[in-house]
Amino acid sequence: MRKQIAAANWKMNLSIQQAEDLMDEILKMEYGLSDNQEVLIAVPFPYLMRIKEKLSTQKQFNICAQNSAATKNGAYTGETSAEILKSIDVFYAIIGHSERREYFHENNQLLAQKIDLALASGIKPVFCCGEPLSIREANNQNDYVETQLKESLFHLNATQMKNFIIAYEPIWAIGTGKTASSHQAQEMHLHIRTVLCTQYGHEIANSISILYGGSVKASNAAEIFEKPDVDGGLVGGASLVAAEFSTIIKSLKK
């Protein structure tokens, strides 16, 4: 069975003390996670080492970077490369988040470079895709997301894509108060898996975890996660509240 994943994206929030307290609160809960369930915690770069230490005894919890550079090394002030992440034993990174695309103008070709460098360093990408409101309203979301997949991922071979992680983010449902229905989530997740199947075949497509990333909350997680092609969530604001995120973790499919 595909990995069922609850991924927390803390974004640019919390002091180090608040971050440690939040992690302690989350880890106090009992989860009984199975081998096919996993929790990723994506924290601001300065906190990676400290939070990773807290997760060191948690078998199903792993630390995750919020980004990784499109260059291997060099004079790129403020960037953090996949090689640097590997050197501190961080083996997951979010790549292509909608905020990186929108605010930092990261396009599909640049994200392909980031994916390649991450994989070369043994970093597992959580690749984000998704459409803005104008595309959804024009009913062009399927073609839009398919293009994102093709231009950033389809140069990879089947071995590289096996057990990959993709997060679908309907941009119009992030921080807006709007939430895609569970039916809309399943519809797009199925489309993504169908596109992957056409390129890589049934076995590979069905090994890829596809997470939903549009305002997942404790109140809607179970309904969304029960859909057959939804393999968990990439969680923003709700991951900053221990009780909320704990409920989301418990909502993962067994």
Domains within the chain, CATH numbers bracketed: 4-250 (3.20.20.70)
**Residue 35 burial by CB count (10 A; 0-12/13-18/19+): exposed, middle or buried?**
exposed
pLDDT at 225: 97
pLDDT at 180: 81
Query: Does residue 130 contact residue 169 with C-beta atoms inside 8 Å?
Result: yes
Residue 239 makes CB contacts below 8 A (sequence gap 6+) with: 8, 9, 10, 245, 248
Buried b (16+ CB within 10 A) or exposed e, 123-142: bbbbbbbbbeeebbeeeebb
pLDDT at 177: 62
pLDDT at 174: 76
Let me know if 151 is a catalytic residue: no
Let me know if 97 is a catalytic residue: yes
Q: Of the listed 38, 106, 169, 244, which one is catalytic? A: 169
Are β-strands 165-168 and 92-95 bridged in parallel, bridged antiparallel, or unpaired? Answer: unpaired
pLDDT tens across 79-134, in order? 999 999 999 999 999 999 999 999 999 999 999 999 999 999 999 999 999 999 89
pLDDT at 175: 66
Q: What is the mean pLDDT of each run of 10 residues along the chain (254 residues)?
A: 96 98 97 96 98 96 98 97 98 97 97 98 98 93 98 98 97 75 95 98 98 93 97 97 98 94
pLDDT at 115: 98
Q: Of the listed 38, 97, 191, 244, which one is catalytic? A: 97
Comparing CA positions, the residue from 232, 197, 233 lying closest to residue 36 is 232
pLDDT at 176: 67
Work out the number of other CB atoms within 10 angstroms of the CB of residue 226: 12
pLDDT at 214: 85
Task: Round to whole Å and give the CA distance between 221 and 148.
Answer: 26
